[in-house]
Amino acid sequence: MLAQLFFRYGAMNSGKSIEILKVAHNYEEQNKPVVLMTSHLDTRSGEGVIASRIGLHRSALPILEDTDIFSITDAQPIKPACVLIDEAQFLKKAQVLQACKIVDTLGIPVMTFGLKNDFRNELFEGSRYLLLYADKIEEMKTICWFCRHKAIMNLRIHDGRPVYEGEQIMIGGNESYYPVCRYHYFHPSLDKIEGSEDIDG
């Protein structure tokens, strides 16, 4: 079976980090080494740490803006069975192309996990090019914070109010972002936002 580039995307709280940790565990349980990477931008649990909301976490190689993920993979003393990348929305175009090169020249599958769209409902650079170049694209589903519809967007919150403009990257969890459906992206229930201090992911 040929190696492929995978992009698994979902809104906040869709279980991306716990899924990547599960995949890593499944490979390693069979004595198949993996290279685990994540963006250096997400420092909520420390730089180079993949952490899920249910408490699982482990160290990973931090990806900086100039990190060459192909060279890192090619330099591994033992050929990895898979490369796993969390927070893939923060990848640069060059790094997405490096992931393609890992697949196409080294024959190693690359699985990336991340958000598709930002709080302004625009694509991140990494997700834009993963949508273009990935062999397989899969949505990880979760429900809207305010109703039972599927969440397809991420609503940024500041001081109990929705925010639709500003810098694209602001690292945060349940205190800053809500997974929402299209309707509630534009019409959030402010009473539920104001109770955000009681949120438990």
Just list the catalytic residues: 87
Distance CA 135, CA 132 (A): 9
* Conformational region of residue 116, where left means phi above 0, alpha means psi within -120 to 50, and beta covers everything else: alpha
Distance CA 133, CA 136 (A): 9
Only one residue has tokens 């929705």, namely: 162
Identify whether the C-beta of residue 152 lies closer than 8 Å to the C-beta of residue 181: yes
Distance CA 50, CA 31 (A): 21
Q: Is 49 helix (H, G, I), strand (E, B) or coil?
A: strand
Q: Is 103 helix (H, G, I), strand (E, B) or coil?
A: helix
CA atoms within 13 A on the CB side of 21: 15
* Conformational region of residue 51, where left means phi above 0, alpha means psi within -120 to 50, and beta covers everything else: beta
